[in-house]
């Protein structure tokens, strides 16, 4: 069991109100990702759940039980830190065994559990090494091992992959997703990387300046962002946001069109632009063009599209995929066709 | 940076200082060894006859030598014990967030800046004096006979004085080490269910091992040669109760005017200090690796 309820929680550091007021429900077994720009309060919210910071107001419930005042160890949660926070002078074996030892578990049982965890995480050959003798990815796995042996009711991850190189990040992402699939334990995962959020989450919580901008499944956020912030944050490359005459013709302050919903052509189209950069990735081409009257627009084309810097390109938006926003930045309904 | 050229250039440029240091050590050492073989007493001028190892025989068979050896070890060991335990305690206290932290830290460091003679005199006259001392006052308050510290427990009194002087050094080094302990590690241990005591044992103490090693090594070097504190308080007495090796050599040379015997004692002390150093480096020095 591992459902977490956050009720009217706020957090201030001295004068700074880092989290004004948050309400959130995390269901048992869910993979929830907190995503948002750096400094928006993701770590703070996670640490409030963990009990490493005291709330300034509100309540935190785990499985319906009020744990607002409970010490971290009493909450039955396990956390994986950004710096891994392994104990440097202990072997991998003792690192993983530490929480069990602190719980005064029987040594034979500890050994069994540690070896079990090591097997799952491919660490069997490294059990007698020190953390300092391991690579980044292996250290990450030790930190995860130390978390899983406790069989917590939920895992908390604070940007666990941000110290790894891109290739390893991809692998670890899959491993963590796989782990969630096997354990079916609630996981709360903090990241500033929307790709991690999109690929791993059952439910994404988009945070901005300590406020929840939107909660939803990855595809919900992609298809119907509630406001400009979410629209700009979720999706890569970023959604093109256009103001001015074109937006007014759609009865909106701002309209957004994702790069993948623009149809490029070398002959004709709605908008005419000059290519500034064309990124040829093989599977896709990202076209960055300066469109007359609109400014810089990014388009994403499947496969190869042979244009170079300085050439002319025509772009036509798929108007059924247009996002419209009012002057407060909130999403309006779908565009009225033929307007 | 390790090509043949940079290495030979480095050697060339280091040479003057190496030579200077070498001469600085070798000349006094050679002179001392030379003196230690002579019948060289300031009261009998004239020829200094060559004696061979006779000075060493006298020094090593002198009952005072054995006493001094034990006292030296007790002094070094006692001060190390008090400063390490006390230093860890103070470092833990000073690491807490308190109002006026800066001032408290400066106050705690202050004893280190007091000269050994001054410190010893202050302790002797203001604290340990059996008539006017503060301790005597407390003893009388408790209805007890005041203790004549320097006469009845001279070595222990000196250990207290020297420990007081070195406590700030230990505290400072251990505090810096404590502050470099990763906050996330402490939090991880907290989430792992470790109590404050377990966190200290499993996390803080191992983290401080290197700093403790440094404190032991540096203090030992200086504590082997404690002198001023003994000179101004007990003069090594009563008898040889508070005489350490340094003080014994001093009394040979300048109280008995026996330069030859004192030189032999000096060489013995150098050898003993090296033995201690080798042991220390073997036992604790491995903490400094990696
Ligand atoms: N212990 C603290 N004391 C004061 N301010 C803090 C503290 N921890 C975090 N903050 C502030 O709270 C804000 C959110 O921090 P954090 O939750 O770490 O952001 P992130 O989303 O990058 O993880 C930042 O502006 C940070 O400066
Ligand atoms: Mg953070």
Q: Where are the domains of chain A?
A: 4-229, 240-325
Residue B254, in any domain of the structure: no
Residue B94 pLDDT greater than 70, yes or no:
yes
Residue A225 pLDDT greater than 90, yes or no:
yes
Q: Do A73 and B189 touch (CB under 8 A)?
A: no
Residue B20, in any domain of the structure: no
Q: Distance between CA atoms of B260 and B213, rounded to whole angstroms? A: 37
Closest atom of ligand 1 to CA, residue A159: 23
The answer to whether A83 contacts chain B (CB < 8 Å) is yes
CB atoms within 10 A of CB A158: 22
The answer to whether A286 contacts chain B (CB < 8 Å) is no
**pLDDT digits 0-9 by tens, A2-22:** 899 999 999 999 889 999 999
**How much is the pLDDT for B245?**
87
| Number of the ligand closest to the Cα of A18 | 1
**How much is the pLDDT for B238?**
86
Closest C-alpha among A77, A49, A60 to residue A150: A77
Residue A214 or residue B5, greater confidence = A214
Closest atom of ligand 1 to CA, residue A158: 23
Q: Which residues of chain A are within 8 Å of residue B191 when distances are taken between CB atoms?
A: 50-52, 72-73, 77-79
Which of A15, A18, A158, A189 most suits a substitution to test ligand 1, by most atoms within 8 Å of the C-beta?
A18
**How much is the pLDDT for B132?**
85
Token digits for A299?
Answer: 């388009």
Least confident of A40-49, A159-168, A184-193, B83-92: A159-168
The answer to whether A82 contacts chain B (CB < 8 Å) is yes
**How much is the pLDDT for B236?**
82
Q: Distance between CA atoms of A138 and A142, rounded to whole angstroms? A: 6
Distance A82 CA to ligand 2 centre (A): 8
**How much is the pLDDT for B106?**
84
The answer to whether B288 contacts chain A (CB < 8 Å) is no
Residue A105 pLDDT greater than 80, yes or no:
yes
Question: A240-325 sits in which CATH class?
Answer: mainly beta
DSSP B204: I
Nearest to B182 among A79, A83, A103 (CB): A83
Q: Distance between CA atoms of A221 and B144, rounded to whole angstroms? A: 81
Residue with tokens 């010490």: A71
The answer to whether A103 contacts chain B (CB < 8 Å) is yes
Q: Distance between CA atoms of A297 and A319, rounded to whole angstroms? A: 15
Q: How confident is the model at residue B149 (pLDDT cuts 50, 70, 90)?
A: confident
Closest C-alpha among A284, A288, A267, A262 to residue A276: A288
Nearest to A98 among B184, B192, B206 (CB): B192
Q: Which residues of chain B are within 8 Å of residue A79 when distances are taken between CB atoms?
A: 187-188, 191
* H and E: helices and strands count for chain A: 9, 18
Question: Phi, psi at residue B202, to the nearest 5°?
Answer: -90, -20
**pLDDT digits 0-9 by tens, B14-23:** 999 999 999 9
Which of A44, A45, A197 most suits a substitution to test ligand 1, by most atoms within 8 Å of the C-beta?
A44
**pLDDT digits 0-9 by tens, B108-140:** 888 888 898 999 999 988 888 888 888 888 988
Residue A179 pLDDT greater than 50, yes or no:
yes
CB within 8 Å of A186: residues ≥ 6 apart: A2, A3, A4, A26, A27, A28, A29, A30, A31, A32, A153, A154, A155
**How much is the pLDDT for B285?**
65
DSSP A239: P
Q: Do A98 and B206 touch (CB under 8 A)?
A: no
In B, minimum Cα distance to A103 occurs at: B193
Distance A16 CA to ligand 1 centre (A): 9
Q: Rounded to two decimals, what is the model's pTM?
A: 0.82
Looking at the structure, give the CATH architecture of the domain made up of residues A4-229: 3-Layer(aba) Sandwich (3.40)
**How much is the pLDDT for A337?**
46
The answer to whether A145 contacts chain B (CB < 8 Å) is no
**How much is the pLDDT for B105?**
81
The pLDDT of A99-118, averaged and rounded, is 92
Residue B114, in any domain of the structure: yes
Q: Distance between CA atoms of A209 and A191, rounded to whole angstroms? A: 15
Closest C-alpha among A61, A33, A62 to residue A205: A33
Q: Distance between CA atoms of B74 and B128, rounded to whole angstroms? A: 20
Residue B97, in any domain of the structure: yes
Percent of chain A past pLDDT 70, that is, above it, reads 98
Residue B66, in any domain of the structure: no
Q: Which residues of chain B are within 8 Å of residue A105 when distances are taken between CB atoms?
A: none
Return the SS3 of A11.
strand
Q: Which residues of chain A are within 8 Å of residue B286 when distances are taken between CB atoms?
A: none
Residue A187 pLDDT greater than 60, yes or no:
yes
End-to-end CA distance of chain A: 51
**How much is the pLDDT for B276?**
86
Beta strand pairing call for A57-62 and A4-13: antiparallel
Domains A4-229 and A240-325 share a fold: no
Token digits for A108?
Answer: 């034979």
Nearest to B190 among A73, A132, A150 (CB): A73
CB within 8 Å of A178: residues ≥ 6 apart: none
Handedness of CA A197, A203, A206, A210 (dihedral sign): negative
In B, minimum Cα distance to A147 occurs at: B192
The pLDDT of B55-77, averaged and rounded, is 89
Residue A34 burial (10 A CB sphere; 0-12, 13-18, 19+): buried
The residues in A 36-65 lying below 8 A from B, measured between CB atoms, are: 50-52
**Most confidently predicted of B216-220, B256-260, B283-287:** B216-220
Question: Mutate which of A62, A95, A102 to test chain B, going by most B C-beta atoms within 10 A?
Answer: A102
**pLDDT digits 0-9 by tens, B185-238:** 999 999 999 999 999 999 999 999 889 988 998 899 899 989 999 999 988 878
Q: Distance between CA atoms of B196 and A34, rounded to whole angstroms? A: 31
Return the SS3 of B209.
helix
Token digits for A272?
Answer: 């005419």
Token digits for A252?
Answer: 């909106």
Domains in chain B: how many in total?
1
Return the SS3 of A189.
strand
**How much is the pLDDT for A212?**
95
User: Does A49 contact ligand 1 (Cβ within 6 A)?
Assistant: no
Token digits for A148?
Answer: 């899983």
For residue B33, CA distances in Å to A28, B42, B48, B58, B264 come to 81, 17, 14, 15, 7
Distance A40 CA to ligand 1 centre (A): 8
Q: Return left, alpha or beta for A60; rule: phi > 0 is left, psi -120 to 50 is alpha, else beta.
A: beta
The pLDDT of B254-263, averaged and rounded, is 84
The domain that contains B271 carries what CATH number?
1.10.3720.10
Closest atom of ligand 1 to CA, residue A13: 4
**How much is the pLDDT for B84?**
96
Residue A86 pLDDT greater than 60, yes or no:
yes
Residue B112, in any domain of the structure: yes
Q: How confident is the model at residue A334 (pLDDT cuts 50, 70, 90)?
A: low
CB within 8 Å of A133: residues ≥ 6 apart: none
Residue B179, in any domain of the structure: yes
**pLDDT digits 0-9 by tens, A21-69:** 999 999 999 999 999 999 999 999 999 999 999 999 999 999 999 999 9
Give the residue numbers spanning the domain of B137: 73-244+265-289
């Amino acid at each position: 069991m591992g459902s977490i309820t956050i009720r009217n929680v706020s957090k201030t550091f001295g004068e700074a109100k880092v989290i004004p007021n948050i309400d959130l429900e995390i269901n048992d077994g869910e993979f929830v990702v907190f995503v948002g720009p750096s400094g928006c309060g993701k770590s703070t919210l996670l640490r409030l759940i963990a009990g490493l910071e005291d709330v300034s107001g509100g309540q935190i419930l785990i499985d319906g039980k009020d744990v607002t005042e409970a010490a971290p160890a009493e909450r039955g949660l396990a956390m994986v830190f950004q710096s891994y926070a392994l104990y440097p002078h202990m072997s991998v074996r003792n690192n993983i065994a530490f929480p069990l030892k602190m719980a005064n578990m029987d040594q034979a049982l500890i050994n069994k559990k540690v070896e079990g965890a090591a097997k799952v995480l491919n660490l069997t050959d490294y059990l007698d090494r020190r953390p300092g003798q391991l690579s980044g990815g292996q250290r990450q796995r030790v930190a995860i091992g130390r978390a899983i042996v406790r069989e917590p009711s939920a895992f908390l991850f604070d940007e666990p992959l941000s110290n790894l190189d891109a290739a390893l990040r991809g692998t670890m992402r899959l491993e963590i997703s796989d782990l969630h699939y096997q354990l079916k334990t609630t996981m709360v995962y903090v990241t500033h990387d929307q790709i991690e959020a999109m690929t791993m989450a059952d439910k994404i919580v988009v945070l901005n300046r300590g406020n929840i901008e939107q909660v939803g499944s990855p595809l919900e956020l992609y298809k119907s962002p509630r406001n400009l912030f979410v629209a700009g944050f979720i999706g890569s490359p970023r959604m093109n946001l256009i103001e001015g005459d074109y937006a007014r013709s759609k009865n909106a302050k701002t309209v957004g069109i994702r790069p993948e919903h623009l149809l490029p052509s070398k002959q004709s189209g709605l908008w005419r632009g000059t290519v500034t950069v064309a990124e040829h990735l093989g599977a896709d081409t990202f076209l960055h063009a300066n469109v007359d009257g609109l400014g810089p627009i990014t388009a994403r084309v499947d496969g190869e599209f042979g244009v170079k810097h300085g050439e002319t390109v025509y772009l036509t938006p798929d108007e059924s995929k247009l996002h419209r926003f009012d002057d407060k930045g909130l999403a309006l309904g779908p565009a009225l066709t033929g307007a | 940076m390790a090509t043949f050229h940079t290495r030979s250039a480095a050697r060339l440029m280091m040479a003057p200082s190496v030579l200077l240091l070498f001469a600085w050590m070798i000349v006094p050492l050679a002179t001392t060894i030379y003196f230690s073989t002579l019948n060289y007493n300031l009261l009998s001028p004239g020829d200094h006859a060559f004696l061979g190892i006779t000075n060493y025989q006298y020094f090593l068979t002198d009952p005072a030598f054995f006493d001094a050896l034990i006292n030296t070890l007790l002094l070094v060991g006692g001060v190390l014990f008090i400063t390490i335990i006390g230093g860890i305690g103070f470092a833990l206290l000073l690491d807490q967030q308190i109002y006026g932290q800066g001032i408290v830290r400066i106050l705690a460091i202050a004893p280190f800046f007091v000269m050994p003679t001054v410190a010893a005199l202050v302790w002797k006259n203001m604290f340990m004096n059996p008539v006017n001392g503060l301790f005597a006052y407390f003893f009388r308050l408790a209805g007890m006979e005041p203790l004549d510290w320097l006469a009845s427990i001279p070595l222990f009194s000196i250990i207290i004085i020297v420990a007081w002087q070195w406590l700030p050094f230990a505290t400072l080094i251990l505090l810096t080490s404590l502050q470099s302990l990763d906050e996330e590690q402490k939090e991880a241990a907290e989430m792992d269910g470790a109590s404050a005591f377990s966190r200290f044992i499993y996390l803080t103490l191992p983290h401080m091992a290197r700093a403790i090693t440094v404190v032991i090594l540096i203090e030992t070097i200086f504590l082997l040669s404690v002198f001023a504190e003994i000179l101004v308080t007990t003069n090594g007495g009563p008898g040889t109760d508070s005489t350490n090796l340094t003080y014994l050599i001093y009394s040979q040379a300048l109280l008995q005017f026996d330069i030859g015997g004192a030189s032999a004692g000096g060489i013995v002390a150098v050898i003993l200090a090296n033995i201690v150093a080798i042991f220390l480096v073997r036992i604790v020095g491995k903490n400094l690796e990696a």
